[in-house]
């Protein structure tokens, strides 16, 4: 039996066994459980496991911070759950509507966040090839790179279909068929841009990269499918449940749900833009300054839909430009800790955490270094606020989605109103200030010698 299998068995045991697990997903560093009864969790035993860095008991999920090995641990857990699948039970979602919303967003978006991060790097390569005129934009090489970097975001509803179907407990292949139908008009030049029905203009070519319409389409499908399964005889259900589900949902989505959800998305993007434009400097400083608190409480993935909606509606986003400074602030604080560590173990932890933060994964820096020595986290937030204020002041935008914030995706700040150089300046400030503050404070106050309780 492998180490990961043994660890997976222990985690399942200490979260209340298989029957207590309603849903599990993961992000870059965390296992995210939706549990039926959190009282069955054994925190002391979980903390005793070698790979467990931190437990985060948020209202929406029970999260176990593992670190870079989370994917292997998740796979081992899923394999064991497949062998010991509990009897399906109807459960009532617990917590406030905010908690349920955050849990739903996390379940829908986190499973493929790694792919989006990888594609973001490829997109950065495409931008560099284009802006530096390294290849002909009609060449084979550029065409392949462009397809690899753009296909995921145009076809994003297909990704949403899979995870939303799992979350809403409906057939994922029917969900894929429904969202594929939403995207299809974009592939056929013969389909008109809009249809005029009863005085209403229905645009069927607006769902490439659509977030809210895809989520609500699959949610509606889950209700229709369950209703059809109740009224269609089992003998005919195999064919007619998906057939009628697609017909009913297709017309409702294209006629009602899709257009309304699209307007909701536009409203959200415009509402965010209005708040941001009240004072870009204050907005940038505030959001970047508290950005890593979202990570501490495990709700940072709730920001993803907002950034995606901004990209879809406006063609650019500003919130991820601010959050880049939030990451670099904690990176700077952890990096500074390398120079004030009083023993080899502390230095090794700070080096490892800094490497992870450099690649945009801040949990090891937060839990292993910065929160442990309180003021380092504060210094990171100060640097982040300064960097965020700069991005707001100078109107820095990103022209593609940044799921993981690191220097390898700086190319995505290049666009029609490119201010990439200002983003570079902002993250240098966000990194340097906490690094210097940490070194100075650590040398004068012997900070690392007395960690916070």
Q: Which residues are catalytic?
A: 27
Which of 409, 387, 412, 383 is closest to 397 using CA atoms? 412
Across the beta sheet with 62-65, the strand order is: 21-26, 30-35, 62-65, 54-57
Q: Classify residue 113 as exposed, middle or buried by CB count within 10 Å of its CB (0-12, 13-18, 19+).
A: middle
Are 248 and 231 in contact by the 8 Å Cβ rule? The answer is no
User: How far is it, in rounded angstroms, from Cα 258 to Cα 237?
Assistant: 27
């Amino acid at each position: 039996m492998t180490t990961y299998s043994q660890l997976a068995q222990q985690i399942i045991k200490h979260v209340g066994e298989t029957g207590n697990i309603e849903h599990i997903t993961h992000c870059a560093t965390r296992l995210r459980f939706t549990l039926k009864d959190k009282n069955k969790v054994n925190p002391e035993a979980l903390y005793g496991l070698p790979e467990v860095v931190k437990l985060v008991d948020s209202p929406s999920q029970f999260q176990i911070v593992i670190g870079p090995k989370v994917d292997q641990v998740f796979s081992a857990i899923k394999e064991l759950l497949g062998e010991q699948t509990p009897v399906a039970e109807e459960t009532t979602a617990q917590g406030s509507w905010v908690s349920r919303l955050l849990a739903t967003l996390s379940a829908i978006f986190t499973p493929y966040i790694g792919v989006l991060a990888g594609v973001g790097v490829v997109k950065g390569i495409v931008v560099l090839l284009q802006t530096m005129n390294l290849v002909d934009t009609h060449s084979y090489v550029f065409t392949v790179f462009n397809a690899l970097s753009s296909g995921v975001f145009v076809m994003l509803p297909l990704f949403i279909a899979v995870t939303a179907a799992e979350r809403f407990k409906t057939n994922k292949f029917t969900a894929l068929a429904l969202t594929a139908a939403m995207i299809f008009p974009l592939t056929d030049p013969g389909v008109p841009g809009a249809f005029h029905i009863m005085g209403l203009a229905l645009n069927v070519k607006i769902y490439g990269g659509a977030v809210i319409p895809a989520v609500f389409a699959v949610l509606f499908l889950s209700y229709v499918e369950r209703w059809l399964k109740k009224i269609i005889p089992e003998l005919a259900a195999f064919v007619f449940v998906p057939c009628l589900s697609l017909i009913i949902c297709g017309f409702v989505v294209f006629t009602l749900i899709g257009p309304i959800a699209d307007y909701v998305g536009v409203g959200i993007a415009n509402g965010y833009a209005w708040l941001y434009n009240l004072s870009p400097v204050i907005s940038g400083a505030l959001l970047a300054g508290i950005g890593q608190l979202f990570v501490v409480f495990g709700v940072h993935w709730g920001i993803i839909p907002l950034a995606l909606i901004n990209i879809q509606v406006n063609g650019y986003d500003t919130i991820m430009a601010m959050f880049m400074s939030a990451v670099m602030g904690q990176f700077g604080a952890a990096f500074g800790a390398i120079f004030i560590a009083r023993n080899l173990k502390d230095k090794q932890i700070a080096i490892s955490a800094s490497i992870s933060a450099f690649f945009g994964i801040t949990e090891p820096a937060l839990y292993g270094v910065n929160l442990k020595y309180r003021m380092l986290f504060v210094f990171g937030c100060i640097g982040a606020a300064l960097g965020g204020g700069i991005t707001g002041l100078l109107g820095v935008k990103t022209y593609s989605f940044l799921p993981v914030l690191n220097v390898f995706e700086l190319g995505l700040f290049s666009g029609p109103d490119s201010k990439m150089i200002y983003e570079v300046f902002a993250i240098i400030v966000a990194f340097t200030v906490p690094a210097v503050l940490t070194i100075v404070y650590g040398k004068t106050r012997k900070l690392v010698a007395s960690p916070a309780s």
